[in-house]
Structure 1
Amino acid sequence: MPATPAAAPKLADHSADRRMLLLAAMALVVGAGGAVGAWALLKLIALATNLFWFGRFSTAHAAITDASVGLAVVAIPVVGGLLIGLMARFGSDKIRGHGIPEAIEAILYGQSRLSPKVAILKPISSAISIGSGGPFGAEGPIIMTGGALGSLFAQRFRLSAAERKTLLVAGAGAGMTAIFGTPLAAILLALEVLLFEWKPRSFVPVLVAVLVAMGCRPLLIGAGPMFPLAVALPDLESALGIAAVLGVAVGLEATLLSNLLYRIEDLFHRLPVHWMWWPALGAIVVGLGGLIDAHVLGAGYGTIQALLDNGLATRVVVALLLVKGVVWLVALGSGTSGGILAPLLILGGAAGALAGQLWLGHPGVWALVGMAGILSGAMRAPLTGALFAVEVTGLFEALPLTVASAGAAYAVSVLLMRRSILTEKIARRGRHIRQEYVVDPMDLMQARDLMTADPATLPGTMTAGDALRYFADEARHRSYPVVDGEGRLLGLVSRSDALDWRVSDMPTDSSLADLVSDAAQPVAQAETPVGQVADMIVESGIGRIPVVDPATRRVIGILSRHDLLKARRAHRRAETERTRTAGPAGEG
């Protein structure tokens, strides 16, 4: 009986199906969980800050700059560093670092599985780190914590690794939204940094989780922008160029910070002591920085607001730029637990505030522009950086300026640095990540574009003995379609089939029509996307897929593994070959 061709593929722009709705429904729970996790993390940080600096058991907001502890400002961060080292050594070393690289690694290499231990220890260790004076923000830890909550919830159900990834990222985005009130930036962070795809299956659930977290935020944390800014903007015609120049400057700053961070990390690796002690050693530098200026300690959210309000003296801004940079780099290089967004906001904002003393308009505007640029340059996320800056301040009319700064910083960063501050850590573990999204060339082509038309076939009337001789003397391929008298596919016969017949003493007068089977024979049609043909080859182990006419069921072509490489070659040629193109034919 001739092989029945596969049903005509339903070609569409996207691959969405009803499971997207299932994931969106699950994202409702994940979004609420991420918001609660963000609230709990902020309370833990406040509790740790009160215990370390004021000796009281309270979850009320407390600023380290209000504490008067004398020389204990050096000892307190060291105690926090010792606790974190112990938790990492005897709890889980996954709590080390700023969270986002660990989330990326779990997504790409860990099938999006995070453990309950990480979900518990990461926020506790981060609260201890920030509360004891560590110069970090809560965003990296909440991305890791929210991601862990999403992953743990997903692991309770029968889901694929890609679906677990969606819920992991949904939890991370929800946590970031709950803390900063930046839903658009959280979605863009998911797309630019965490998802490594742009599909409805992942985009819609992340959107749902982020909106749920945004809805929960007024009840748990508060409404309105985290760092409200209401100032008049300078004239855009002259300010856009200045914003781009500032973007170049903070892009260079981001490049320098990333290089210094990993040089410092290398120095810690050379120390003749176990890594458990590194956070405490790094905390000595943090404490000394606190002696110089207490503004460099802790998350520094109040400092970010002061930069935007132009409420800091120039010498304090300079101290922030220098001292905050040093203590942050040393602390993060030591492997302690903390985030990078808040420190980057301070460092980029300080650079922008200093530049704003020279340029037109309110210095807070240029602090905002510097923040957008440094986020873009350090994280390689220009859209996230531009949107985050305006969302977190509520100054949406500054978007053209933040886009100019973020774009310029991004261009500088990708030209000067091989990897971002996030992916460098993963690369040092032997795993290279390519952060460019392109359409798979196999999804742009159909079988008709690459198949060998009118391929050689074997008649179903051929005997096994003739087939053995054919494969021994004349065959140019490892397998051939077997067809009936009208050219309709009966099955596929391969060289290995012939060898099996010889070993099993198969009667040589048996016809191929009787020996081959179409039951498991995958077939394609001319319209089948090449990517689907590649999946057939992988799943079946058959190296050559016949292409049949759905109306007549005749074999019209064949696609081999080698043919699939032609799609890759065409894509590479389009990327690398440079030619001068003349005008359209017939043009004078």
Structure 2
Amino acid sequence: MKHTLQLWIRRVLIWRAQHLPMQHFIFVLSILTGLVSGLVAVVLKNSTHAIQAWIRSERFEDYYQLYYFAFPLIGILLTVALVRVFKLRAGEGIPSAIEAISRQGGIIPRSRMYTSFLTSAVTVGFGGSVGLEGPAVGTGSAIGSNLARWMRLGFKQRILLIACATAGAISSIFGAPVAAIIFTLELFSIDLTLSSLVPLLLASATGALTGLMTSDGSKLFYAEGIEAFDPINLPYYLLLGVACALVSLYFKRVFALSGRLVVRWNNPWAKAMTGGVLLGALIFVMPPLYGEGFGTIQAALKGDDWSILSQNWLGVEAGNLLMGIGLLIGLLLLKVTAASLTVHAGGVGGMFAPTLFMGSILGLIFVRSLEFAGIEGLPVVHFVLIAMAGLMAGTMHAPLTAIFMISEIGGGYPLILPLMMTSALSFFLTRSWDPNSIYTEYLSQRGRLWIQSKDKAVLTLLDMDDALERDLETLEPDSPLHECQAALARCKRNLVAILEDGRMVGYITWEDIWRAQREEHQEEINAKDAMKSAPARVQYGDPMDLVLSQMEKTGMWYLPVYHDGQWLGLVSKTKLFEAYRKQVQDLSHEG
């Protein structure tokens, strides 16, 4: 089978080289990637909904109160069992794609083409309080990465196909092709050129068309009764932007804290049981936390508080506005805890749906709070849609995606001005308080922080061997001055390392020799007397941006490199810059 596949790939590559320019080949691959990613998203969504329909069937009708508690736990345990028994490598969806681009040259393991798909369907199908968008992106990204490798494409084209897969998956799920492209650009910081824009357009359009042709015509949610923007409500929209920023910050802080509490359990089964039981308890108390929550989002858009609040067990009356606001606030605050417990206990899912869920509840809380204060007549659907955009801008650091996605999905183009203002304010405040998005925060917790600076991004593609010099002249500290002169004359560099017991204790240059020769009794001077002390050391596995930072701090062009306490050589700023220039040239000339 493997030999047959390789044979077909070879034939395709030969045919491509003879008949098709590379740019046109990329267009074909982008369409194929969008198609496959769109199908993955559709099958994942339908599989998950089939599991949910089975759980909610008549056979469990008499136990519906218990399944809110039991099934999320069962889903997490099944996910952990799948991962451990079949040794699956389930990634974190969007964070995995970001890390692959920034630190792994766009290479994603083949197993990721199916692991997130299988595990997320089980997690969300059984009630895990997360979304399917992240796993769909993770699966599609793995397909795009491996398709590029099979077609013998370079780094630049691998990144482009990963971006095409992301656009295709998001476009298929939400039916928002423009927002899908913008999300990809904001997420991966891809340079917007004609050679990258056209493939993204093709992939996103193909993904949206795939979702449209294979669906039953239903939408995740829709908005009715949208009217023109009334400038008199501008102060409320700005206040909502501040609220979105505060909730975004809360989202990221609680997500990180919940993760630290759960990961203390080293045993994966203990972690799954602990997180699953806590998740089940939360969902039992607040049933709207069950699953993705798009039904709750739809109810919020309609201003139907009662359909949301009636699912609790506290016996809240429909007309009790203050109690209703309190329960909505509790639902808002607990959603991020439920999502975090789902992921950190061993489940697989994304944060896209929880963000939309929390945004819709925040918009509803905002309107009801103003009504309680005596300010009535505000359009609920407007504030719910705009709060969803504001929370997306704050948590994901993707304000343009938020604006266009809510406009496309909810039909909110008449609200484009308040969408822009609220999203911009939420993004600005959140970014000022915390530079990480919910996705980069996830990587930061694991020491794999995404770097958006173009210069630093190139440095992450280099490793220590690219700048390490091993063939150096070395002397011992008691070597006489004439031996130091001879060693400097033999070496190609203006530096000789002074070693003692396998450690670099200093270095000597021609400047040190000349200074020593002016001293009296120079025949008694040895290397230890003339040398400079060794500068700050670096470790063999240190990232190159950290190495360059150490060089800038110490003013040194060379730094000693150690591995397990043993001196390996010197990392050279000259070689580092040469490797950097070569990497930039390679990336610029690909394609």
Q: TM-score normalized by structure 1? A: 0.67
Kindly tell me: are residues 429 and 249 of structure 1, through their superposed partners in 2, closer, same or farther at Cα, counting changes over 3 Å?
Answer: same
Q: Structure 2: which amino acid aligns with 1:79?
A: I
- Are 1:146 and 1:173, in contact at CA under 8 Å, matched by a contact in 2? no
Aligned ranges 1:279-290 → 2 under 5 Å = 279-290=272-283
Pick aligned residue for 2:65 from 54, 65, 70: 70
* Structure having the higher Rg: 1
Pick aligned residue for 2:305 from 296, 305, 312: 312
- Are 1:75 and 1:287, in contact at CA under 8 Å, matched by a contact in 2? yes
1:274 aligns with 2:277: no
- Are 1:80 and 1:280, in contact at CA under 8 Å, matched by a contact in 2? no
- Are 2:141 and 2:166, in contact at CA under 8 Å, matched by a contact in 1? yes
Q: TM-score normalized by structure 2? A: 0.67
- Residues in 2 aligned to 1:408 and 1:207: alpha-carbon distance in whole angstroms: 29
Kindly tell me: are residues 86 and 132 of structure 1, through their superposed partners in 2, closer, same or farther at Cα, counting changes over 3 Å?
Answer: same
Pick aligned residue for 2:352 from 338, 341, 353: 341
Pick aligned residue for 1:398 from 415, 419, 434: 415
Partner of 1:430: 447
1:325 aligns with 2:318: no
Q: Structure 1: which amino acid aligns with 2:276?
A: A
Aligned ranges 1:554-565 → 2 under 5 Å = none
Partner of 2:160: 166
- Residues in 2 aligned to 1:437 and 1:373: alpha-carbon distance in whole angstroms: 27
Q: 1:223 Cα deviation (Å)?
A: 4.6
Q: Structure 1: which amino acid aligns with 2:300?
A: L
1:44 aligns with 2:44: no
Unaligned runs of 5+ in 2: 1-19, 307-320, 458-487, 495-572, 582-591
- Are 1:178 and 1:216, in contact at CA under 8 Å, matched by a contact in 2? yes
Question: 31-40 or 315-324: which moved more?
Answer: 315-324
Partner of 1:199: 193
Q: 1:236 Cα deviation (Å)?
A: 3.4
Kindly tell me: are residues 404 and 266 of structure 1, through their superposed partners in 2, closer, same or farther at Cα, counting changes over 3 Å?
Answer: same
- Are 1:48 and 1:132, in contact at CA under 8 Å, matched by a contact in 2? yes
Q: Secondary structure at the match of 2:172?
A: helix
Kindly tell me: are residues 226 and 398 of structure 1, through their superposed partners in 2, closer, same or farther at Cα, counting changes over 3 Å?
Answer: farther
- Are 2:262 and 2:341, in contact at CA under 8 Å, matched by a contact in 1? no
Q: 1:561 Cα deviation (Å)?
A: 6.7
Q: Structure 2: which amino acid aligns with 1:353?
A: L
1:102 aligns with 2:105: no
- Are 1:146 and 1:168, in contact at CA under 8 Å, matched by a contact in 2? yes
Q: 1:294 Cα deviation (Å)?
A: 1.8
Aligned ranges 1:465-484 → 2 under 5 Å = none
Partner of 2:113: 119
- Are 1:247 and 1:406, in contact at CA under 8 Å, matched by a contact in 2? yes
1:412 aligns with 2:406: no
Kindly tell me: are residues 276 and 160 of structure 1, through their superposed partners in 2, closer, same or farther at Cα, counting changes over 3 Å?
Answer: farther
Q: Structure 2: which amino acid aligns with 1:153?
A: L
CA-based RMSD of the aligned residues comes to: 3.4
Kindly tell me: are residues 104 and 127 of structure 1, through their superposed partners in 2, closer, same or farther at Cα, counting changes over 3 Å?
Answer: same
Q: Structure 1: which amino acid aligns with 2:287?
A: A
Kindly tell me: are residues 437 and 234 of structure 1, through their superposed partners in 2, closer, same or farther at Cα, counting changes over 3 Å?
Answer: farther
Q: 1:92 Cα deviation (Å)?
A: 5.0
- Are 2:127 and 2:291, in contact at CA under 8 Å, matched by a contact in 1? yes
- Residues in 2 aligned to 1:277 and 1:103: alpha-carbon distance in whole angstroms: 28
More helix by share: 2
Partner of 2:31: 28
Pick aligned residue for 1:300 from 293, 299, 306: 293
Aligned ranges 1:438-587 → 2 under 5 Å = none
Kindly tell me: are residues 438 and 44 of structure 1, through their superposed partners in 2, closer, same or farther at Cα, counting changes over 3 Å?
Answer: same
- Are 2:41 and 2:136, in contact at CA under 8 Å, matched by a contact in 1? yes
- Are 1:257 and 1:329, in contact at CA under 8 Å, matched by a contact in 2? no
Question: 253-262 or 201-210: which moved more?
Answer: 201-210
Q: Percent identity?
A: 25
Kindly tell me: are residues 237 and 264 of structure 1, through their superposed partners in 2, closer, same or farther at Cα, counting changes over 3 Å?
Answer: same
Aligned ranges 1:9-28 → 2 under 5 Å = 19-28=22-31
Pick aligned residue for 1:214 from 208, 219, 230: 208
Q: 1:109 Cα deviation (Å)?
A: 1.9
Q: 1:438 Cα deviation (Å)?
A: 9.1
Partner of 2:177: 183
